[in-house]
Structure 1
Amino acid sequence: MPDATASPAAARIALVTGAGSGIGRAVALALLADGWSVALSGRTPATLTETAEQASDARDRILVHATDVADPASVDALYAALRARFGRLDLLFNNAGISLAAAPDELSFADWSRVVSINLTGSFLCAQGAFRLMREQAPQGGRIINNGSISAHAPRPNSIAYTATKHAVTGLTRSLSLDGRRHGIACGQIDIGNALTPMAARMKGGVPQANGEMMPEPVMDVAEVARSVLFMASLPPDANVQTMTVMATNMPFVGRG
């Protein structure tokens, strides 16, 4: 294993989960463009490779590692590979997650368990691995940024599993922020609304509203999310953004929509 103290002072090491598409890909590419070394994690090797190929000039600063964040052994293997390649970790962007639409009385236990295992248990396992490494490394400390969601504040129709997990991620963030203080580990959360990714493209065509209507919703460039995460990541160790909300300006979230 490389000596953590051997890394150049300027080296910054990040891990991005869900890096094969959407927000995770945008954030990973922004970090690479800013000079970070980045471990790309996700379930599908092919999409992770596509992300890496979009930053081919930074290939020597990229680790690609397929991971099932809901599987403790898979997460352990991810951190073993990261430690072997980079020796330390300065930033975890805890982003992997899934969503599905179902009314509360129609949601199967299998689907509930799948969303909880990826969005909540997966976030915990990845944060736990980061916390361990950040606590042990020299110099000690680092930063964890959890991807919450607008749904950490208010639900969409038929989103009970997703919304419950995103509310729980807020508790995870606060606990990590408190417990990390003595070890120099900062933790914050970014709550994102209507960033234009392939998953959110349906927003422009119309999505269910609280009053039962279908309505198109404004979206924003996913690059603005990446820029926001990059700002949070760039703060010195003695400063932290505890919670940031970045959203399409006119989306129906604040007030009565």
Structure 2
Amino acid sequence: MTSLSSPSFHRFTDRSVLVTGGGSGIGRAVALAFAAEGANVVVAGRGRAALDETVALVREAGGNAVAQVADVSRGVDVEALVTAVVERFGSLDVAVNNAGVFQGGPITELSEVDWRRVLDINVTGVLLAMAAEIRRMRTQPGGGAIVNVSANLGQHKQLPGTTGYSATKAAVTSLTRGAALEHIAEGVRINAVSPGASDTTMSLFPGETEAGRAARMKDASPLGRVSTTPEVAQAVLYLASDAAASLVGTDLVIDGGASL
């Protein structure tokens, strides 16, 4: 296991970072990357076991992380989550709103129950999380940074069979831009990343293997492959860092050129 004690630089030493959807995939990679640069990380999600696995990975590598069970589609959960971060570490310096679900199929086959589920988590969850995070960050002398995880589907690209999901991710981009404009004067800087296919289970077609996905991506992406989760994580860290201080409402697409 690579140690987190000696990364090339420590941009987030002693800063507190909240990562929703931190139990797997991009969220887990983001948590590991922030911890590698000295952050105190709180990973949140609905499944305790997955969150504990992320925390164990961080700690095994020498970083600091704790888990907090929360459902971002519930306002009371999100408020309690922000409070827990502040009580544990004294502030909320960075928030990464990564929690999301995928729902495929044409809209004629999308049930009302499935639509409301993806809408509640992907859109309402981001709105509620940002609202709670902003209310805390604007009271802090140093403000804070928020990075929302959207997708290249929606604002940047359309793909048959993903219309409902794409609509929710386009909404995340819109929420990001609007909230960024509303709250930058209060010291809260908000941006988004929009990954394309990455090396997570979400990018696998039904019944597809990783080898099958790799073969498909040779033609589907100009880059010829999926993005790795650490690559997406590094983009998140950049947007949250002081080096991106003048980036406000940016939506950074990370898809190997697939949406061009």
Count of residue pairs brought into register by the alignment: 237
Determine which of 150, 153, 165 is the counterpart of 2:152: 150
Match of 2:108, SS?
A: coil
RMSD of aligned residue pairs (Cα, Å): 2.3
Q: Does the CA contact (< 8 Å) of 1:99 and 1:162 recur in 2?
A: yes
Determine which of 215, 233, 252 is the counterpart of 1:244: 252
* Separation (CA, whole Å) in 1 of partners of 2:100 and 2:253: 18
Q: Does the CA contact (< 8 Å) of 1:140 and 1:183 recur in 2?
A: no
Shift of 1:200: 2.0
Question: Which residue in 1 is equivalent to 2:121?
Answer: 118
> Which runs of no fewer than 5 residues in structure 1 stay unpaired?
1-8, 210-214
Q: Does the CA contact (< 8 Å) of 1:38 and 1:61 recur in 2?
A: yes
* Separation (CA, whole Å) in 1 of partners of 2:184 and 2:238: 20
Question: Which residue in 1 is equivalent to 2:38?
Answer: 35
* Separation (CA, whole Å) in 1 of partners of 2:32 and 2:133: 20
| Aligned CA distance change for structure 1 residues 236 and 141 (closer, same or farther; 3 Å) | farther
Q: Does the CA contact (< 8 Å) of 2:58 and 2:64 recur in 1?
A: no
Q: Does the CA contact (< 8 Å) of 1:206 and 1:216 recur in 2?
A: no
Question: Which residue in 1 is equivalent to 2:9?
Answer: none
Question: Which residue in 2 is equivalent to 1:221?
Answer: 228
| Aligned CA distance change for structure 1 residues 183 and 162 (closer, same or farther; 3 Å) | same
For residues 40-59 of structure 1, the C-alpha deviation after alignment (integer angstroms, 9 at most, x for no partner) is 00110000000011111577
> Which runs of no fewer than 5 residues in structure 2 stay unpaired?
1-11
| Aligned CA distance change for structure 1 residues 36 and 111 (closer, same or farther; 3 Å) | same
| Aligned CA distance change for structure 1 residues 216 and 239 (closer, same or farther; 3 Å) | closer
* Separation (CA, whole Å) in 1 of partners of 2:41 and 2:51: 12
Question: Which stretch shifts more, 27-36 or 69-78?
Answer: 69-78
Question: Which residue in 1 is equivalent to 2:68?
Answer: 65
| Aligned CA distance change for structure 1 residues 59 and 87 (closer, same or farther; 3 Å) | farther
Question: Which stretch shifts more, 77-86 or 55-64?
Answer: 55-64
Shift of 1:104: 1.2
TM-score, scaled to structure 1 = 0.85
Q: Does the CA contact (< 8 Å) of 1:100 and 1:159 recur in 2?
A: yes
* Separation (CA, whole Å) in 2 of partners of 1:29 and 1:10: 14
* Separation (CA, whole Å) in 1 of partners of 2:159 and 2:94: 30
Question: Which residue in 1 is equivalent to 2:197?
Answer: 194
* Separation (CA, whole Å) in 2 of partners of 1:60 and 1:148: 27
Letter in 2 for 1:231: Y
* Separation (CA, whole Å) in 2 of partners of 1:236 and 1:125: 27
- Percent pairwise identity: 38
Question: Which residue in 2 is equivalent to 1:82?
Answer: 85
TM-score, scaled to structure 2 = 0.84
* Separation (CA, whole Å) in 2 of partners of 1:226 and 1:60: 16
- Report whether the alignment pairs 1:15 with 2:22: no
* Separation (CA, whole Å) in 1 of partners of 2:135 and 2:120: 21
Match of 1:100, SS?
A: coil
Q: Does the CA contact (< 8 Å) of 1:148 and 1:169 recur in 2?
A: yes
- Report whether the alignment pairs 1:172 with 2:172: no
* Separation (CA, whole Å) in 1 of partners of 2:167 and 2:126: 14
Match of 2:107, SS?
A: coil
Question: Which residue in 1 is equivalent to 2:6?
Answer: none
* Separation (CA, whole Å) in 2 of partners of 1:114 and 1:35: 35
* Separation (CA, whole Å) in 2 of partners of 1:179 and 1:89: 19
Question: Which residue in 2 is equivalent to 1:3?
Answer: none
Q: Does the CA contact (< 8 Å) of 1:97 and 1:118 recur in 2?
A: yes
Letter in 2 for 1:64: A
Match of 2:230, SS?
A: helix
Letter in 2 for 1:246: I
Q: Does the CA contact (< 8 Å) of 1:52 and 1:59 recur in 2?
A: no
Shift of 1:188: 0.6
Shift of 1:238: 3.7
